[in-house]
Amino acid sequence: MAAVHDLEMESMNLNMGREMKEELEEEEKMREDGGGKDPAKSRKVHRIVSKWMLPEKARGTYLERANCFPPPVFIISISLAELAVFIYYAVWKPQKQWITLDTGILESPFIYSPEKREEAWRFISYMLVHAGVQHILGNLCMQLVLGIPLEMVHKGLRVGLVYLAGVIAGSLASSIFDPLRYLVGASGGVYALMGGYFMNVLVNFREMIPAFGIFRLLVIILIIVLDMGFALYRRFFVPEDGSPVSFAAHVAGGFAGMSIGYTVFSCFDKALLKDPRFWIAIAAYLACVLFAVFFNIFLSPAN
């Protein structure tokens, strides 16, 4: 047992020594480049992002080609759009949108409404509308804190694919499992990002900053539990004069992230279209989408 313990300690010391050596090499390279303080800070940010977002074997490739071009445009743009729509209904519409839903927001052309399912854009545009200030602040904080580093690493096309897959999965799941309820918020997309990142950390947490791998899992689980609790409260304990809102999007978005999102985020240095796991996840996702479309046309109680 003592020999095994000594071997484990030696392995840990070797890993720590290797990480320190890599950091020293990075700093030496920055000094040789003569880039000044800003490039040095930029490289430090990229090094931190790589440790939080990538397993050890992929960090070198990321750091070699790390840059902010293009910048994380998708997450920032979608966040600004959601904030703009919220401010519009909170300030320029006569309602209590600062607190919860009201008649004005329920008549919005963006909200998912069971009575207007033929307006197909609502299955996506519902993500722009939120049920109160606490709802939008929670979603914006989660998607900015997690989405910007993910987009720095994986770029906007892949992050956008995962995000929108969660949004669509959320509305379709709500139309099946909670067919008579309204749906608002970007939680489907946010949970897709969290689901993909969660699976990546779960599989590689010993490499993604070993000391904090478990801590990050616990933080993600805590955020999910708190947000799901708030969603369940809005669904089942809303005042009699209020309008219950579906929470199925949270669950469906998470599953979309743990399938498509994990595949996308684990293929950082690989050709995504050549990975059979990606096509399996896409095929399963499309099968669920076709079933949801069939259900809404022929079987939905909302008909």
Q: What is the CA radius of gyration of the chain?
A: 22
Q: Which of 196, 195, 79, 186 is nearest to 124 (CA)?
A: 186
Residues with catalytic function: 187, 250
**Length of the chain (residues):** 303
- Whether residue 189 contacts residue 212, with contact meaning beta carbons closer than 8 Å, is answered with no
